[in-house]
């Protein structure tokens, strides 16, 4: 286990060192993400940059650091993104959707670049999932979301994990 700030270079280096020590790396899941509810005029540039750093820049930095090991062993990279990257989200900071849209494109670029070299890159683009972020919703907003979801409920982390496990495995080749 490597614990650390995903935005810190030391964390990416510690991940690299641990993977080398263990003899390789076959699966990388980029799952860090933050949001806040501030609208554009209430968002400081620093807060905007922080969301972009955690949701996008950290994925690039960690992936870039670990790719040389994965190119030796082969493997799968799975990025967790959001439907807020496809359409504006009324309850999210503008940086959240922008970061997730950019992460979706980064995933496509990496997939194109490394597919022929033994590293698959995919994304799980989630709709509303029961997490710490959704616990912040007002009861009124939760009801509105539930009414907009065809199955009438919010997804679970377990469902996302199952999609990730599938993409990480050989059946997703």
pLDDT digit string (tens) for 53-62? Answer: 999 999 999 9
- The residues annotated with a catalytic role in the active site are 96
Check pLDDT > 90 for residue 111. Answer: yes
Give the C-alpha separation, 84 to 163, whole Å: 19
Contact 35, 48 (CB under 8 A): no
Strand partners, 28: 77
Instruction: Please report which confidence band the pLDDT of residue 141 belongs to, taking 50, 70 and 90 as the band edges.
Output: confident
Buried b (16+ CB within 10 A) or exposed e, 45-83: eeebeebbbbbbbbbebbbebbbebbeeeebbbbbbbbe
As given in the structure block, the two tokens for residue 100 are 């997730």
């Amino acid at each position: 286990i490597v614990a650390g700030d995903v935005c810190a270079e030391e964390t990416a280096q510690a991940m690299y060192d641990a993977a080398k020590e263990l003899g390789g790396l076959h699966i990388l899941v980029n799952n860090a993400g933050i949001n806040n509810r501030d609208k554009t005029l209430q968002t400081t540039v620093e807060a905007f940059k922080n969301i972009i750093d955690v949701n996008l820049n950290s994925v690039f930095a960690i992936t870039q650091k670990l790719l040389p090991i994965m190119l030796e062993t082969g493997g799968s990279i799975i990025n967790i993104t959001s439907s807020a990257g496809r359409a504006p989200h009324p309850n999210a900071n503008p940086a959240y959707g922008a970061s997730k849209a950019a992460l979706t494109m980064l995933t496509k670029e990496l997939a194109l670049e490394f597919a022929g070299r033994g590293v698959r890159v995919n994304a799980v683009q989630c709709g509303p999932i029961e997490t710490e972020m959704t616990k912040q919703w007002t009861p009124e907003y939760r009801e509105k979301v539930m009414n907009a979801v065809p199955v009438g409920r919010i997804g679970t982390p377990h469902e996302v994990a199952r999609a990730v496990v599938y993409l990480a495995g050989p059946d997703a080749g």
